[in-house]
Amino acid sequence: MKPDKHPPKPGRRVYPDELKKEAVQLLLDGHSAPSVARNLGIRPTSLLYRWKAEALDQQGQVASTLEARVRQLEEQLRRTERERDILKKALAIFSQAT
């Protein structure tokens, strides 16, 4: 997470970076924000969304590169599956002819 520019105001709770990272990872793993907040004792829940946005901003370039690679691999997989299906059909046709 980004280092704070200003010291925390009196009465505000300061959360350690490790807790922030754990909370963001739980969100990314599919857990709901209210359940993560309740389990980790974070209030308000909106903090989780802010931490998630900050983490994604920091990882933005890497994440977009990985997403592009995943899309490319998914397209390659679909193409390979189509080729496999065509070969299965051809094998079935040729095996019936004999």
- Give me the tens of pLDDT residue by residue for the chain, a chain 98 residues long: 555 566 667 777 889 999 999 999 898 888 999 999 999 999 888 999 999 888 888 777 677 777 788 899 999 999 999 999 999 999 999 998 66
- 37's CB contacts (< 8 A; 6+ apart) are 23, 43, 44, 45, 47, 48
pLDDT of 36:
93
Instruction: Number of helices (H) and strands (E) in the chain: give both, helices first.
Output: 4, 0
pLDDT of 74:
95
pLDDT of 7:
67
pLDDT of 98:
61
d(CA 20, CA 1): 8
